Every structure is written in C-alpha cells, then in structure tokens.
C-alpha cells in the first residue's frame, strides 16, 4: 500500500514522503495511529493544504521531547528479580516493567516508547533505547540482578556470572584427584589407608585375647 507519512518513521522516511508498505502494517499501525494517510489524490491535496501546520506541530513536539530527554538520558533502572544459578530469570522484564520503573523515578514514559526488541530474560546490564519523538531518542541503563549487592557489583563493572563460574571451576579443581582411577571417588581412596591403619590394632587385640 502507498501511504503519505505524517511524521518521520525510522527506516521509512520523513514527513510528506510517499512510501510503499505492507497492507497489514499500514492498516493496523500507521493509519489508525495518525502516522500516515493513504496515498490517493484526495489525501495528497489534504496533506499539501495542511503541510505547514503538520510540520509546525511536529517541531513543537520535538522541542518538548528534546527538553524531556535531558532528564532521562543515561538514567539507570535497577530491578531485583529471582533467577537461576545460571542467571536465567524466572519470568522476564518487559517494556511495561521498564515504564513502571521509570514512572517511579518521575519519568512518565509510555510502554510503546520503549524500544525493546525482546523481553529481558537474564540478569546483567543492558542499554535500552527510549523513543520520545520520531526524531528524538535517549538511552537508559537497565541493571537486573538477584540482590541489591549483586546489582552494585554489576554497576561497578563486575561480571557476576563469569565470577561465579570461575569460583565453581576453582572449587572443582581443588577437589579433583589426578591419581584417582576412573570412577573412583576421593573417599574410595581413603578407605584402604584407613583399613591398613586399623589392621595392626586388630591383630594386637586378638593376640591379647589369646
């Protein structure tokens, strides 16, 4: 479907551009949200007659967005969630969760302004883009952790999952016995030594009884 853009759309074009998009995208998103008009002769005349006002309104919204961006750019959201030892969340962090966290900090952001390609499903740090206006966007930092202490470490640049893996590996190395036979446990190797120590004592007891 050919449409006339009423605002800048990323990867499509700027105000007034006539572009071709899939019918579903136009009918389900662009047209009902007032972002475009069908590109027919009648709408072309309507757009040209109102072009000056459309561009002026867009400039005003852009100015407001630029002002708002100064208070949001670089903001950090800390979310404490339950997760497995491997760092996988029991659940996920969605755009709605981020919008609510931003609102708690005094930033009123709609969830559809949060550009999150897929929900966050593991602990760690992640940058997320916020689109305040088609021509104005900012980046926030999302810190998802299992505890405030873990979040603090991540904020300092510590990779807690890598650190945990290294500790587990070190513990395994300490317990590993290179002289053990295949399938033999350290406890199995201790038993013959213990039996050997107990044998003389048992023989001495039997001699005393005789």
pLDDT of 89-131, one tens digit each?
A: 999 999 999 999 999 999 999 999 999 989 999 999 999 999 9
Third-level CATH fold of 2-65: Ribosomal Protein L9; domain 1 (3.40.5)
CATH superfamily of 76-158: Ribosomal protein L9, C-terminal domain (3.10.430.100)
Domain ranges of the chain: 2-65, 76-158
Q: Which of 86-90, 132-136, 186-190 has the lowest mean pLDDT?
A: 186-190
Identify the three-state secondary structure at position 77.
strand
pLDDT band at residue 5 under the 50/70/90 scheme: very high
d(Cα 197, Cα 199) in Å, to the nearest integer? 6
pLDDT of 14-35, one tens digit each?
A: 999 999 999 999 999 999 999 9
DSSP letter for each residue of 108-133 = ---GGGEE-SS-EEESEEEEEEEEEE
What is the pLDDT of the chain when averaged over all its residues?
Answer: 85
pLDDT of 144-202, one tens digit each?
A: 999 999 999 999 999 888 776 665 555 544 455 555 555 555 555 555 554 555 555 55
pLDDT at 102: 95
């Amino acid at each position: 479907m050919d449409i006339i853009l009423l605002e800048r759309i990323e990867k499509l074009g700027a105000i007034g551009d006539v572009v071709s998009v899939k019918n579903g995208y136009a009918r389900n998103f662009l047209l009902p949200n007032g972002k475009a008009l069908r590109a027919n002769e009648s709408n072309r005349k309507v757009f040209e007659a109102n072009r000056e006002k459309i561009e002026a309104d867009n400039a005003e919204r852009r100015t407001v967005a630029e002002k708002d961006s100064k208070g949001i750019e670089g903001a950090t959201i800390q979310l404490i969630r339950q997760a497995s030892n491997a760092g996988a969340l029991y659940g996920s962090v969605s755009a709605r969760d981020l919008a609510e966290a931003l609102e708690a900090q005094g930033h009123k952001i709609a969830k559809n302004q949060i550009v999150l390609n897929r929900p966050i499903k593991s602990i760690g740090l992640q940058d997320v883009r916020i689109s305040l206006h088609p021509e104005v966007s900012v980046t926030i930092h999302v810190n998802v952790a299992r505890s405030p202490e873990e979040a603090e470490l991540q904020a300092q640049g510590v990779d807690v999952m890598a650190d945990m893996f290294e500790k587990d590996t070190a513990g395994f190395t300490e317990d590993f016995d290179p002289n053990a036979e295949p399938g033999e446990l350290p406890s199995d190797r201790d038993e013959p030594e213990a039996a050997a120590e107990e044998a003389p004592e048992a023989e001495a007891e039997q001699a005393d009884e005789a």
